[in-house]
């Protein structure tokens, strides 16, 4: 039945990215100069939303980044100093229409990457935008740099019918969520899940399974959602990473997801894949 | 039965990365100065291998990057100008013991990242090594930069009992392998699989499933292996990406994996997750 549950927020096809066009600078310039070209409107460091939660488009006056096509309409964005903090963005994200969410995520991550990567990491010299905004090239050493996507594992460990959830100090009061951490060089998904569960909670994991994934634009993660079995219930919490971690049974997770009065914790927001992982766990 | 098949090469726990120590510069300096400290020996841009395919260690004379512990032994690497090209590395990788492969991958990706990221992408100023080599910090603007891990989807599309495999121009003669491409900002795994199959081969994919993953150190990818169903057998090949793409049935894939004389294609090498995906497909 879990396949009938919604996919994580921010996931979906988004625009036609027209990858093959990116190498054709003249074609992109022509598209940008055409009457149909439009660009995203931004407001206080995030793409602006209409009252019904849709992205807002204006005539392409400064089409720096080619996002792709919606139907026949070429869509662009400017490079903005974007809001790097998910907490500051949560009120606006709560309004965002799910159909526009993948493009919201792509524009936010891409724009922020440009604003923070104006120089070549190899030579220190300035770089210029190429490939319609999907790369920057160093005029000095020729190195080409692509927008970062940082894979992160996020996982529910399970033991004896209960789930392990943790609390980071910066969470709102009462919130517990799935443990997570960046995949490092030399690791696959399963090794990263095992390492993070052991580092953060002292839990030895077996039977690690992929569940779903989500782009997360603060600033530019690929959240890879997994489940694992824990060998035992004992916890050894890394208090540099987590304020607390606890096991919750199905009734407790259900009460939290229903946002019942007196529920034992506040669940992650609907935009987070941690919420999807919890919803799929209780539905299984 | 597929669970009994080997995991992809380069996957496994590797060293104890001792993440919590990275913030403690004095502790890492002490470890590096101790008599047990050792560092990887390099040869022609790759970690050197002994005749039996193991990594070679020497006394830590220049311990720039703290890789972690093997038992009680602190393990380091220098920063090297590494071989960026998998083709140049394949002969040596064929000798590499699977137990040392995750560390080989971690050291190669980490060392190369440092050699190509000596400057701050935000300010253009030089950066310095921090966190035992797991980050670089800009002395000018304070920005902290972490080693890149680039997620890549690699997938077998299936239709009517046949698999879609493609050929890139730089492959050795006769080789066919799984199609692949970088996950972009604003995409999840499934969206990237669908986009790449459509872009490269004109195939509409449904029922996309994660299979396994692998770090790939040329230079620093996380290969996310998937399967998908194709809506139909028609192909529209992007000749900028692929020289050819074709459907192969189970007999043909078996003959290729057995490296039979007269097999219809040369399979990907055993170090590549594409090989794992093929092995699991024929075993299913």
Out of B134, B186, B215, the one facing A187 most closely (by C-beta) is: B215
Within an 8 Å CB–CB cutoff, is residue A148 touching chain B? yes
Which residues, 6 or more positions from A183, have their beta carbon under 8 angstroms from its beta carbon?
A150, A151, A152, A153, A189, A192, A224, B149, B222
- Whole-number pLDDT of residue A85: 82
B-chain CB neighbours of A107 within 8 Å are 186
The gap between the terminal CA atoms of chain B, to the nearest Å, is 7
By CA distance, what is B193's nearest residue in A?
A13
- Whole-number pLDDT of residue B2: 46
A-chain CB neighbours of B9 within 8 Å are none
Residues in chain B: 284
Out of A119, A188, A195, the one facing B214 most closely (by C-beta) is: A188
Pairing of the two strands A205-216 and A179-182? unpaired
Between CA A9 and CA A268 the distance in angstroms is: 12
Assigned token pair, B102: 């995750």
Within an 8 Å CB–CB cutoff, is residue A186 touching chain B? yes
Q: Which of A203, A211, A270, A267 is nearest to A232 (CA)?
A: A203
Q: Which of B7, B13, B16, B18 is nearest to B102 (CA)?
A: B13
A-facing residues of B in 117-146 (CB < 8 A) are 117-126, 134, 143, 145-146
Residue recorded with tokens 């606890």: A246
Per-residue DSSP letter, A187: -
Between CA A276 and CA B164 the distance in angstroms is: 32
Q: Which of B36, B125, B116, B35 is nearest to B83 (CA)?
A: B116
**Taking CA A145 as the corner, what is the angle to CA A143 and CA A150, rounded to the nearest 5 degrees?**
145
Out of B11, B109, B120, the one facing A185 most closely (by C-beta) is: B109
CB B64 within 8 A of CB B78: yes
- Whole-number pLDDT of residue A162: 98
A-chain CB neighbours of B189 within 8 Å are 213, 222, 224
Between CA A277 and CA B45 the distance in angstroms is: 42
Between CA B162 and CA B174 the distance in angstroms is: 18
Residue B3 has pLDDT above 60, yes or no: no
Whether residue A96 is preceded by a cis peptide bond, meaning omega within 30 degrees of 0, is: no
Assigned token pair, A229: 């079995």
Within an 8 Å CB–CB cutoff, is residue B188 touching chain A? yes
Contact criterion met (CB < 8 Å) for A182 and B20: no
Residue A2 has pLDDT above 50, yes or no: no
Say how many CA atoms lie within 13 Å of A172 toward its Cβ: 10
3-class secondary-structure state, position A100: helix
Assigned token pair, A43: 């407001």
Task: Mutate one of A17, A100, A144, A187 to test the B interface: name it (highest B CB count within 10 A).
Answer: A187
Helix/strand/coil percentages in chain B, nearest 5: 30, 30, 40
- Whole-number pLDDT of residue B4: 64
Task: Report the 3 state secondary structure along B3-61.
Answer: HHCCCCCCCCCCCECCHHHHHCHHHHHHHHHCCCCEEECEECCEECECCCCCECEEECC
The gap between the terminal CA atoms of chain A, to the nearest Å, is 7
Between CA A182 and CA A192 the distance in angstroms is: 8
Out of A117, A189, A220, the one facing B185 most closely (by C-beta) is: A220
Q: Is the ipTM of this complex over 0.90?
A: yes
What is the helix (H) or strand (E) element at residue A32, kind and residue range? helix A25-33
Q: Average of pLDDT values for B122-141? A: 97
- The overall average pLDDT reported for chain A is 95
What is the helix (H) or strand (E) element at residue A51, kind and residue range? none
**pLDDT digits 0-9 by tens, A112-169:** 999 999 999 999 999 999 999 999 999 999 999 999 999 999 999 999 999 999 999 9
**pLDDT digits 0-9 by tens, B220-247:** 999 999 999 999 999 999 999 999 999 9
Contact criterion met (CB < 8 Å) for B105 and A11: no
* pTM of the predicted structure, to 2 decimals: 0.97
**pLDDT digits 0-9 by tens, B16-68:** 999 999 999 999 999 999 999 999 999 989 999 999 999 999 999 999 999 99
Q: Which domains does chain B have, with CATH numbers?
A: 2-116 (no CATH), 117-147 (no CATH), 150-283 (3.90.79.10)
Which alpha helices (H) appear in chain B, and where do they start and end? 25-33, 86-93, 101-116, 189-201, 250-257, 273-283
């Amino acid at each position: 039945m879990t396949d009938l549950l919604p996919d994580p927020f921010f996931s979906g096809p988004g625009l036609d990215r027209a990858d093959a066009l990116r190498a054709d600078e003249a074609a992109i310039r022509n598209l940008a100069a055409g009457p149909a070209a439009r660009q995203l409107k931004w407001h206080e460091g995030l793409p602006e939303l209409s009252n019904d939660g849709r992205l807002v488009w204006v005539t392409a006056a400064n089409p720096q980044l080619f996002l792709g096509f919606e139907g026949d309409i070429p869509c662009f964005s400017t490079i903005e100093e974007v809001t790097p903090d998910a907490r500051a963005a949560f009120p606006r994200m709560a309004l965002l229409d799910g159909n526009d969410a993948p493009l919201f995520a792509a524009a936010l991550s891409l724009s922020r990457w440009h604003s923070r990567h104006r120089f070549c990491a190899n030579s220190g010299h300035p770089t210029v935008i190429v490939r319609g905004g999907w790369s920057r090239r160093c005029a000095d050493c020729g190195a080409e740099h692509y927008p970062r996507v940082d894979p992160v594992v996020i996982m529910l460990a399970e033991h004896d019918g209960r789930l392990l959830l943790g609390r980071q100090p910066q969470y709102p009061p009462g919130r517990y969520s799935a443990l997570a951490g960046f995949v490092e060089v030399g690791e696959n998904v399963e090794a990263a899940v095992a390492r993070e569960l052991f580092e953060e909670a002292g839990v030895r994991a077996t039977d690690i399974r992929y569940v779903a994934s989500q782009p997360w634009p603060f600033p530019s993660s690929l959240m890879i959602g997994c489940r694992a079995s824990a060998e035992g219930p004992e916890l050894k919490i890394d208090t540099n990473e987590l304020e607390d971690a606890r096991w919750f049974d199905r009734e407790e997770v259900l009460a939290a997801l229903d946002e019942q009065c007196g529920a034992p914790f506040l669940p992650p927001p609907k935009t987070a894949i941690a919420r999807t992982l919890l919803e799929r766990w209780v539905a299984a």
